[in-house]
Amino acid sequence: MGIEDSARDHEEGEEDSSASTSSFDELATQQDPGIITEFIQFLRYNKKWWLTPILIVTLLLIGAAILLPSPVAPFIYTLF
């Protein structure tokens, strides 16, 4: 398949999908998902369920990282 054909197919695909989805302005007014929701959406979209345990661990690490600049830092920062 040539690049021009692919580009045309892509554009047609985009037109179809844009017809079924909201416009950019509408999407821009919606709420951003939280990090946990986004991880779940990512796993569902890509069907990569085997990454679930690693992403759970990552969430725990993120939780620890969020606490680092806070006043409780000396209690927990030795973890990182």
Partner 1 sequence: MTAILGISAFYHDSAAALLVDGEIVAAAQEERFTRKKNDAAFPKYAIEYCLREAGLSASEIDHVGFYEKPLLKFDRLLETYLSYAPHGFLSFRKAMPEWAGPKLQLRREINKGLGGEYHGRICFCEHHQSHAASAFYSSPFQKAAIMTLDGVGEWATSTVGIGEGNRLQLTHEIQFPHSLGLLYSAFTYFCGFRVNADEYKLMGLAPYGEPRYVDLIKTKLIEIFEDGSYRLNLKYFEYPHGLRMTSGSFARLFGAKPRGEGEPVRELDMDLAASIQKVTEEVVLKAANHLHDQTGCENLCLAGGVALNCVSNGNLLRRGPFKQVWVQPASGDAGGALCFALFMWQNIMVHQLQTIAPDAQRGSFLGPEIIDESLSLQLDSINAKYKKFEDESRLNRYLSDRLDEGKLIGVARGRMEFGPRALGNRSILADPRRRETQRDLNLKTKFRESFRPFAPVVLEDRVSDFFQWDRSHESPYMLMVTQVKTEIRKEVDSELPKGLERVNDVRSELPAITHVDYSARLQTVDQVRNPFLWNLLHAFCDRSGCPALVNTSFNVRDEPIVCSWADAVACFLQTNLDLLLLDDHVLQKCDQGDVDKEKLESIREAPFREALAEEKRQTTQFVISICVAIGLLSVVVFYRFQLVAPSVVLLGLSLLTGFLGLFGHKNRKWIENNFKRITLPIRLLVTLVLLALVYYLVVTPIGFLLRLRGRDIRKATVNDSTQWSQTVDRDLASYFHTY
Exposure string over 31-66, b if 16+ CB within 10 A, otherwise e: eeeeeeeebeeeeeeeeeeeeeeebeeeeeeeeeee
Minimum CB separation of residue 52 from partner 1 in Å reads 10
Minimum CB separation of residue 76 from partner 1 in Å reads 10
Q: Where do contacts with partner 1 occur on this chain (CB under 8 A)? A: 1-4, 6-7, 10-11, 13-14, 17-18, 21-24, 27-28, 30-32, 35, 38-39, 41-42, 45-46, 48, 50-51, 53-54, 57-58, 61-62, 64-66, 69, 71-75, 77-80
